[in-house]
Amino acid sequence: MKTKIEEYLKEVENFKADKLESLEDFRIKFLSKKGLIPALFADFRNVDPSERKEMGQLINTLKNSVQEKIVSLKEKLDSGSDSKSGTLDLSLPVNASMGSRHPLSIVRNEIIDIFSRIGFTVSEGPEIEDDFHNFTALNFPEDHPARDMQDTFFIEKDPDIALRTHTSSVQVRVMESTQPPIRTISPGRVFRNEAISARAHCIFHQVEGLYVDTDVSFADLKQTLFYFAKELFGEETKTRFRPSYFPFTEPSAEMDVSCNICGGKGCNVCKYTGWVEILGCGMVDPNVLESCKIDSEKYTGFAFGMGVERITMLKYQINDLRLFFENDLKFLEQFKSTY
C-alpha cells in the first residue's frame, strides 16, 4: 500500500492541466466515490494495526495534495495566466479606445489633398531660418516691423538667425533650387512673438502656396482659390477679394469666404458681416523672383498663405485657439476623420 500511495503522490505532483476538463477528470480519478482515495480508505481496514498510523497519515497527505493541486490549477486556468490554457474568451468586448487624429492635422491633410488634386506638390523646409530666406529674399524693407524683436523670435544676431515667421521661407528655398514651372504648397509650424490668447498663439501652423510659370495671372490666382474654398467649405461657398499689402506680393489681397456657420446671414463668428477672412495672397513681386534667380521678365507667379488654426476654428466652430495645444482627450476625441 505504501508504494502505491507514493506512486500516486508522484503522479499528483507531476500532473498538469491545460483545460478545465482534464482537471475535472483528475478530480474524479482521485476523489469521486469510486476514486482512488476512497478506495485507499476502504483498504485501510485491512492494514496491520502497527502500520495504521503511518498509512493514515500518508493517505491524508495524498488527499490534501490532490485538493491543493485542484485549487491551484483551477486558479491558474481561470485567470488565463497559462498561455496554453485555451480558455481565452474571444467574445469579450474590446474596451481599448482608438486614438484619433489631431484636428489641425485633419484640416492640414485636407488642404494638402485639395491642392494635390490640381497638381501642387508638397515642400518642407527648416523651422530655424536665416534672415535671407525669411525676410530679405521676400522683399522685406530694412525697417519692416516683422524684423523687430517684438514680432520675431531671434536666436542669434549678426548674422540674424530666427524661428521662421511664415513658411514663405520654404518657397524661397524651392525657387532657389528649381526653375519654373513651380507649383508647390508648404505646410508647417511657424513662430511669432505674440501674447497667447483665444485668438493668437506664439506657435501656429500655416499652409502657403506658390505657382510660378509663364503667363500666370491674377485670374489664375482667383480661380485656384475659389476652387479651394468650395472644396473645403462646400459648394455653396462664395469668395471675395479685398486689397491688402505684403512686401512679397504686388498686387496683394486678402480673401474672405461667406460664413459657413450662418451661410452669410450674419452671426457672431463673422461679426454679423457674413464674411470671414481666411488667407492672404497676391502676385509674386518681381524682386522676389530676381532674388531667387528667376527671370522676372519671362515668368510671373502667384502666392497665398493661410493659418491652419483659423481655418480649423471656422470649420469646427471652435472659439478658443488654446484648445489645440492643451491635448485634452475630451476635446481631441471628438474629431474622427479619414484625413
Residues of the shown chain interacting with ligand PHE in the complex, contacts defined by CB under 6 A: 166, 168, 208, 246, 249, 280-282, 303-305
- Kind and range of the H or E run holding 231: helix 218-233
CB atoms inside a 10 Å sphere around CB 179: 12
For residue 81, which amino acid is it?
S
Nearest to 165 by CA among 195, 129, 196: 129
End-to-end CA distance of the chain: give it in Å, rounded. 77
**Which residue, 233 or 304, has its beta carbon nearer to ligand PHE?**
304
What is the number of the residue whose Cβ is closest to ligand PHE?
A: 305
Residue 219, CA distances (Å) to 171, 234, 276 in order: 21, 21, 21
Q: Is the dihedral of CA 57, 62, 65, 71 positive or negative?
A: negative
**299, 214 in Cβ contact below 8 A?**
yes
> β-strand 239-246 against 249-258: which pairing, if any?
antiparallel
Rounded to the nearest whole angstrom, what is the least distance from the CB of residue 211 to ligand PHE in the complex? 11
Rounded to the nearest whole angstrom, what is the least distance from the CB of residue 167 to ligand PHE in the complex? 7
**Which residue, 140 or 233, has its beta carbon nearer to ligand PHE?**
140
Rounded to the nearest whole angstrom, what is the least distance from the CB of residue 328 to ligand PHE in the complex? 28
Rounded to the nearest whole angstrom, what is the least distance from the CB of residue 166 to ligand PHE in the complex? 3
**Which residue, 180 or 305, has its beta carbon nearer to ligand PHE?**
305
Peptide bond into 251 cis (omega under 30): yes
Rounded to the nearest whole angstrom, what is the least distance from the CB of residue 142 to ligand PHE in the complex? 18
Q: What is the 3-state secondary structure (H, E, C) of 132-186?
A: HHHCHHHCCCCCCHHHCCCCCCEEECCCCEEECCCCHHHHHHHHHHCCCCEEEEE
**Which residue, 182 or 303, has its beta carbon nearer to ligand PHE?**
303
**Which residue, 239 or 249, has its beta carbon nearer to ligand PHE?**
249
**Which residue, 125 or 263, has its beta carbon nearer to ligand PHE?**
125
**307, 152 in Cβ contact below 8 A?**
no
**Which residue, 292 or 303, has its beta carbon nearer to ligand PHE?**
303
Please give the Cα distance from 63 to 15 (Å, whole number): 14
| Strand order across the 161-163 sheet | 128-130, 161-163, 154-156
Please give the Cα distance from 226 to 233 (Å, whole number): 11
**Which residue, 207 or 259, has its beta carbon nearer to ligand PHE?**
207
Rounded to the nearest whole angstrom, what is the least distance from the CB of residue 283 to ligand PHE in the complex? 9
Rounded to the nearest whole angstrom, what is the least distance from the CB of residue 235 to ligand PHE in the complex? 26
